[in-house]
């Protein structure tokens, strides 16, 4: 199969140009103001998620004030219909969103690396079989599947993360496989082979590190995608009800959208900012690892 046919389907395909891993990528990354802003935002959200129990002590799902109060000094972002503090829920909700995003991306990337790596490296029937499997997973409609599984089996965080991780990996696998196919014939790999390096060593030492940048960019985009899907499921009332998440807050806000705007606005904005931050970082990484674009002065 020609490599163009194996482009990732659902992500922003990073241009699979000449991926030279240079120590300069970090310099390139921080030279982009958007990437720095994204990273700062993301670190802020991560800090909030980690520190939530100290920033907002107590159970965010316990009523501590009068219900449906607009933002005030006592409750800077207001309270919900059961008199629970929105700010406190927002801080705790960051944990679920980030956790779902990161765990999904980690699972998807690991599975994708294994599948894509095996397929790209061994080729032949292994490749064929694994690519059939990849197509199969791509054909399963992810959101439909998520609705059905969370409806039927309950929407615990574990279920959601596993489900998303196990449906997000095909793009990673295809990307990595394409990278490997193109890298295998590159000079430095051929050279390594010529001096007698063993194939597994070539794969892990030479090919994989060079193939990783687009995979990581893809993974960071998946973080954003997973966060949005979790929010969508929670919005339908199919998320994990035992922990507050931003989607859960948006779901609770439904009946009050016209009279308690603060219940809906803040979690929505938090979601938006977090996903934007993740995507900015992904863009920054892509540009930093793909110097062709940013170095090329086009006038």
Partner 1 sequence: MAAHLPRYLLRRVLQAVPLLLGVLVVNFFLIHLAPGDPIYLLAGDGGDEPYFAAMRQKYGLDKPLPVQLGLYLLGVVQGEFGYSFAYARPVFEVIAARLPPTLLLMGVSIVLSTVVGVWLGVVCARRPNSPVERSVLVATLLGYGCPAFWLGQLLVLLFAVRLGWFPVQGMVNARADYEGLARLSDIARHLALPVATLSVLHLALVTRLTRTGLREELGKDYVRTARAKGLPTPSVVNRHALRNALLPVVTVVGADIGTLFTGAVLTEIVFAWPGLGRLLYDATLSRDYPLLMGIFLLVGTSVILTNIVTDVAYAVLDPRVRYT
Partner 2 sequence: MIPQQPSSFLARALRGGPGRLLWLTLMLIIAMTPMVAAQGTPEPRDGGTLVVSIASDPGHFNPAITTGFTQHVVADSMFNGLVGLDANLQPVPDLAESWEISDDGRVYTFYLRPDVAWHDGMPFTSADVKFSFEEVLLKYHSRTAAGLGAVLESIETPDDLTVVMTFTGPYAPLLRRLDVTEAPIIPKHIYEGIEDPTTAEANLKPVGTGPFKFVAYAQGDQVTLEANEDYFKEGLPRLDRVVFRVIPEANSALQALQSGEVDYAWNVTPAQIQLLQASPDLETATASASPGGALCINTMAFNLENEPLDQLEVRQAIYHALDRERMLEQIQFGAGKIATGPISSAMSDFYSADVTAYPYDPERAMELLDDAGLTPDENGVRLTLVFPHPNTFDRYGELIREQLGAVGIAVEDVSLDFNAATDRVFLDRDFDLAIVSYCNGADPEIGVRRVYDSRNIRPIPFSNAAAYSNPEVDALFDEAATTLNADERAAHYAEIQRILTADVPYMWLIETEGIRAFRPEFHDFKHWSGHFAETAWTENAAE
Contact set for partner 1, span 230-259 (CB under 8 A): 231-232, 235-236, 247, 250, 257-258
Q: How far is CA 205 from CA 15, 119, 172, 192, in A?
A: 23, 17, 19, 10
Q: Interface residues with partner 2 (CB under 8 A)?
A: 59, 61-63, 67-68, 81-83, 151-155, 237-238, 241-242, 254-260
Tell me, residue by residue from 95 to 134, as one string, x for binding to partner 1 by CB under 8 A and - for no binding: -------------------------------------x--
Q: Find the largest Cα–Cα distance for the chain.
A: 75
What residues contact 227, with CB distance under 8 A and at least 6 apart?
97, 98, 100, 101, 271, 274, 275, 278
* Residue position matching structure tokens 């995608």: 225
Tell the smallest beta-carbon distance from residue 98 to partner 2 (Å).
Answer: 22
The pair of three-digit structure tokens given for residue 165, joined into one six-digit string: 């991780």
**What's the rounded Cα separation, in Å, for the pair 261 and 281?**
30
- Is residue 173 a contact point for partner 1 (CB under 8 A)? no
* Residue position matching structure tokens 């929505």: 268
The pair of three-digit structure tokens given for residue 1, joined into one six-digit string: 């199969």
Tell the smallest beta-carbon distance from residue 147 to partner 2 (Å).
Answer: 10
Q: Specify the length of the chain in residues.
A: 299
Residue choice 18, 50, 198, 272 for contact with partner 1 (CB under 8 A) = 272
Residue choice 155, 224, 239, 284 for contact with partner 1 (CB under 8 A) = 224
Contact set for partner 1, span 16-75 (CB under 8 A): 17
| Adjacent-strand bridge partners of 79 | 85
**What's the rounded Cα separation, in Å, for the pair 163 and 17?**
32
Tell the smallest beta-carbon distance from residue 240 to partner 1 (Å).
Answer: 17
Tell the smallest beta-carbon distance from residue 82 to partner 2 (Å).
Answer: 5
DSSP structure string for 218-279: HHHHHHHHHHHHHHHHHHTT-S-TTS--HHHHHHHHGGGTTT-HHHHHHHHHHHHHHHHHHH
Residue choice 36, 46, 228, 243 for contact with partner 1 (CB under 8 A) = 228
- SS3 per-residue string spanning 140-175: CCHHHHHHHHHHHHCCCHHHHHHHHHHHHHHHHHHH
Cβ closest to partner 2, residue 55 vs residue 256: 256
Residue choice 279, 281, 285, 288 for contact with partner 1 (CB under 8 A) = 279
Q: Pick from partner 2, partner 1, none: which does 81 bind, CB < 5 to 8 A by kind?
A: partner 2
- Is residue 77 a contact point for partner 1 (CB under 8 A)? no
The pair of three-digit structure tokens given for residue 251, joined into one six-digit string: 């779901």
Q: Pick from partner 1, partner 2, none: which does 54 bind, CB < 5 to 8 A by kind?
A: none
Task: Using CB under 8 A, count the residues that bind partner 1.
Answer: 52
Q: Pick from partner 2, partner 1, none: which does 15 bind, CB < 5 to 8 A by kind?
A: partner 1
**What's the rounded Cα separation, in Å, for the pair 52 and 31?**
31
Tell the smallest beta-carbon distance from residue 137 to partner 2 (Å).
Answer: 25
Residues interacting with partner 1, by CB under 8 A? Answer: 1-2, 4-5, 7, 9-10, 12-13, 15, 17, 132, 135-136, 138-144, 147-149, 151-153, 224, 228, 231-232, 235-236, 247, 250, 257-258, 264, 268, 271-276, 278-280, 292-293, 296, 298
């Amino acid at each position: 199969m020609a490599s163009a046919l194996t482009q990732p389907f659902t992500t922003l395909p990073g241009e699979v140009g000449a991926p030279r891993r240079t120590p300069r990528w970090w310099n390139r990354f921080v030279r982009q103001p958007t990437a720095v802003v994204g990273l700062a935002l993301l670190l802020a959200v991560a800090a909030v998620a980690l520190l939530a129990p100290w920033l907002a002590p107590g159970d965010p799902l316990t009523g501590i004030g009068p219900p449906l109060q607009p933002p005030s000094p006592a409750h800077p972002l207001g309270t919900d219909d059961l008199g629970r503090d929105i700010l406190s829920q927002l801080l705790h909700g960051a944990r679920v969103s980030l956790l779902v995003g990161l765990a999904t991306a980690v699972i998807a990337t690991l599975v994708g690396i294994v599948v894509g790596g095996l397929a790209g490296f061994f080729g032949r029937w292994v490749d064929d079989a694994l690519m059939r499997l990849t197509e199969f997973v791509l054909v399963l409609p992810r959101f439909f599947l998520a609705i059905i599984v969370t409806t039927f089996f309950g929407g615990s965080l574990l279920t959601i993360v596993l489900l998303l991780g196990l449906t997000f990996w095909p793009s990673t696998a295809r990307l990595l496989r394409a990278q490997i196919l193109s890298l295998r014939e590159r000079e430095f790999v051929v050279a390594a082979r010529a001096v007698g390096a063993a194939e597994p060593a070539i794969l892990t030492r030479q090919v994989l590190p060079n193939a990783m940048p687009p995979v990581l960019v893809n993974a960071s985009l998946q973080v954003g995608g997973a966060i949005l899907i979790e929010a969508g499921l929670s919005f339908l009332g199919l998320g994990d009800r035992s922990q507050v998440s931003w989607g859960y807050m948006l779901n609770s806000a439904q009946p009050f959208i016209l009279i308690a705007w603060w219940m809906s606005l803040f979690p929505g904005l938090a979601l938006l900012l977090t996903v934007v931050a993740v995507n900015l970082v992904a863009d920054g990484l892509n540009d930093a690892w793909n110097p062709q674009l940013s170095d090329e002065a086009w006038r």
